[in-house]
Amino acid sequence: MKTKAPSERLLARLPIYLTYIKSLPDSTVNISATKLASALGYGDVLVRKDLAKISDGGRRKLGYVRQDLIRDIELFLDYNSATTAVIVGVDRISLSLTDYFYLEHTGLNLLAGFDLSSSIHETEKGLPVYAIDQLDAYCNNYDISIGIIAVPKARAQEACDRLIACGIHAIWNLSPAHLTVPSHVVLQSTNWGSSLASLRMQIKARTQI
Amino acid sequence: MKTKAPSERLLARLPIYLTYIKSLPDSTVNISATKLASALGYGDVLVRKDLAKISDGGRRKLGYVRQDLIRDIELFLDYNSATTAVIVGVDRISLSLTDYFYLEHTGLNLLAGFDLSSSIHETEKGLPVYAIDQLDAYCNNYDISIGIIAVPKARAQEACDRLIACGIHAIWNLSPAHLTVPSHVVLQSTNWGSSLASLRMQIKARTQI
DNA sequence: TAGATTGTTAATCGATTAACAATC
DNA sequence: TAGATTGTTAATCGATTAACAATC
């Protein structure tokens, strides 16, 4: 018996649902697929089908129990079982990212940061930061599944190669560089340009009406 | 005569193509849709159709002229006509973002940053930073089309309302908060959770084989 | 010529939406 | 009951892929 892998689209929507549902006032007990859909600008049947995939159903007339739905989405997205990660490049974006991981519980367990610093120190959020030379030794002691890249464009490929050389099989690329990885490694790149392009087209469409 | 609006998907792919094409060594004169596709993991017909939409064609046997293709994609994405923007929240992510805008020429003209600072200063990249009180006056003097939100979650809605009150009609939300905007305002939110969920599912799929 | 490529038309696939029955 | 909702089946739509002709 194999469950079909969830679609990329569904995986993108679920965290958005989650953010919205969590943003509701604490007094909210129930949330219907219909309301969720209209708040986020999706079709109601789409949301209903999505929710059907990840939970065991709501109550007619009432909708879903908010806390149960949060739990079910988090369960589906594996937010409860931690995935270990290290980040290369500790400044700016990575700090803001650690904020995010500490505040939202996404199941990402960020263990350490590595950068050009010569001495071990800690960020305000308690993330230990080591010199990049120590990456290899560190990865031998801990089982790391995701390597996050947050260095400037020019050094991104080098950082990527280094992480892979340490035995890491999954790269999350937050730099604006194009990266090449061997076929046994999973790569997910974020691209600000895509999001911006979409926004600008929406603006253009509005002003042309 | 109205040209149909480009699809969301196409808009997401074009910046990815661009990043890759630009990353090629300077000596590369031609690039074929076929090679572009296999380098990025897309189907070749898909890429060929995309390119057909934004350029006036390649040469059989040779493919596209690299520089022409870069120019055509940038033209299509309006990277040449500047869109003005201000950013609320100047730290971490915003600094890394300004790096991005200065290095890549995406057509976003980031004019100023606003935060809680009491005195006017400049970032290392030359972005002037003002106290948040001055936002309103600033927007009266300059025509700003995009307001970028890079403040912590708890203050994101407030920042958003403030930008809208200043007459800005487009919001780019880089915070992990859910935002509500009136219907005349365009909102684009980025969600790290979506990208991370996708990566984790890929890892899961790999390890289960 | 042979091979690599473009570009187009038709087929497929998957995601979204419409319609509607069920029910609390 | 009436209305708001879930959940399902069928229809539609759009995006991707397959097949193939054209050509440098």
Position with higher pLDDT, A69 vs B205: A69
pLDDT of B70-121, one tens digit each? 999 999 999 999 999 999 988 766 677 777 776 678 999 999 999 987 778 8
- B169/A99 touch (CB, cutoff 8 Å), yes or no: no
What are the backbone dihedrals phi and psi of residue A108, each rounded to the nearest 5 degrees, phi first?
-95, 125
Q: Where are the alpha helices (DSSP H) in B24-152?
A: 33-40, 44-54, 66-76, 93-103, 135-141
Residues 31-50 of B with CB under 7 A from strand C: 32-35, 44-45, 48-49
Q: Are A130 and A138 in contact (CB under 8 A)?
A: yes
Nucleotides of D under 7 A from a protein CB: 3-9, 14-19, 22-24
Please tell me the predicted confidence (pLDDT) of residue A3.
61
| Chain B residue at shortest CA distance from A171 | B199
Pairing state of beta strands B108-115 and B186-189?
unpaired
Among positive and negative, which fits the CA dihedral A24, A28, A32, A35?
negative
Provide the pLDDT for residue B93.
64
Q: Which residue has the higher pLDDT, B104 or A189?
A: A189
Q: What is the pLDDT of residue A93?
A: 64
Residue B1: the pLDDT is 37
The pLDDT of residue A68 is above 80: yes
Instruction: Report pLDDT for A1.
Output: 38
CB B92 within 8 A of CB A92: yes
B46: nt with nearest C1' to CA: D16
Alpha helices (runs of H) in chain A, residue ranges in sequence order? 8-23, 33-40, 44-54, 66-76, 92-103, 135-141, 153-165, 192-208
The pLDDT of residue B58 is: 82
Nearest to A8 among B146, B198, B203 (CB): B198
- Would you say the C-alpha torsion A152, A154, A156, A158 has a positive or negative sign? negative
- What mean pLDDT comes out for the span A61-84? 93
Both structure tokens of A177: 């560089």
Within window 169-208 on B, which residues have Cβ closer than 7 Å to strand C?
Answer: none
Distance of C1' in C7 from CA in B79, Å: 27
Q: Specify the pLDDT at position A205.
A: 87
Q: How many CB atoms lie within 10 A of CB B15?
A: 24
Q: How far is A86 from chain B (nearest CA, A)?
A: 14
Over residues A4-18, mean pLDDT:
93
Mean pLDDT of A179-198: 94
DSSP H helices in B55-131: 66-76, 93-103
**In the prediction, which pLDDT does B3 show?**
62
Q: Show the low-confidence residues of chain B (pLDDT under 70).
A: 1-3, 92-94, 102-103, 209
Please state whether strand C lies within 7 Å of residue B147 at its CB atom: no
The distance (Å) linking the CA of A162 with the C1' of C5 is 37
Q: Residue B209's pLDDT is what?
A: 59
**pLDDT tens, position by position, A117-157:** 777 888 877 889 999 999 999 999 999 999 999 998 999 99
- Bases of chain C within 7 A of a CB of the protein: 3-9, 14-19, 22-24
Q: What is the model's pLDDT at position A94?
A: 67
The protein side of the strand D contact, defined by CB less than 7 Å from any of its atoms, consists of A 32-35, 44-45, 48-49, 51-52, 57-64; B 7-10, 42-43, 45-46, 49, 59-61
At residue B4, the pLDDT reads: 73
Task: Enter the pTM of the model.
Answer: 0.93
Which residues of chain B neighbour A173 with C-beta distances below 8 Å? none
